[in-house]
Amino acid sequence: MEHLSKAQRETLHAKLERERVDLHQRSAGSTEVVADNPDTDPRDIEDAAAQEAGRFSAGQLLARDRARLAEVEAALARMQDGSYGICEETDEPIPFRRLELEPTTRYTVAALEALESEGGVADRHGDEPGAY
């Protein structure tokens, strides 16, 4: 992490903490929607189908948010142990601009492209901006 200034590390840490709080809040709301509500008694099949579709959708969003939360928490753990900002594939420093765009990334752009071209498994939901 020596390639990052103290101000850069603080900026990235704050960004990750904000996202973690947002994900916790969203997950709490989604959990309520996903849970079956025994008080609801749909009177027709369309209502029942709409409720089931809503629960399924909320469940998918909850799963995505939980996966993203795991990535955010892993990035915060890497900050703690000093390995944050170092490519897991090449041990090269990940540029601040890339970390700023996707603070949970574990790879440089070149390493990620190489992994993808080789059919390697990169965690797509956390390594590309907006792909989670």
CA distance 94 to 72: 16
Read off the pLDDT of residues 82-116 as tens digits, 9 standing for 90 and up.
999 999 999 999 999 999 999 999 999 999 999 99
Helix axis angle, 45-81 to 6-34, nearest 10°: 160
Residue of 66, 73, 92 whose CA lies nearest to 2 = 92
Residues 6 or more apart whose Cβ sits within 8 Å of residue 24: 69
CA distance 57 to 63: 10
Q: How much is the pLDDT for 37?
A: 54
Topology (CATH) of 6-127: Four Helix Bundle (Hemerythrin (Met), subunit A) (1.20.120)
Q: Where do the domains of the chain lie? A: 6-127
Read off the pLDDT of residues 60-87 as tens digits, 9 standing for 90 and up.
777 898 999 999 999 999 999 999 999 9
CA distance 29 to 72: 19
CA distance 2 to 66: 30
Residue of 130, 100, 126 whose CA lies nearest to 112 = 126
Between residues 61 and 120, which one has the greater pLDDT?
61
CA distance 22 to 16: 10
Asked whether 125 and 132 are in contact (CB, 8 A), the reply is yes
The mean pLDDT value of the chain amounts to 82
Query: How many CB atoms sit inside 10 A of residue 37's CB?
Result: 10
Model's pTM, two decimal places? 0.70
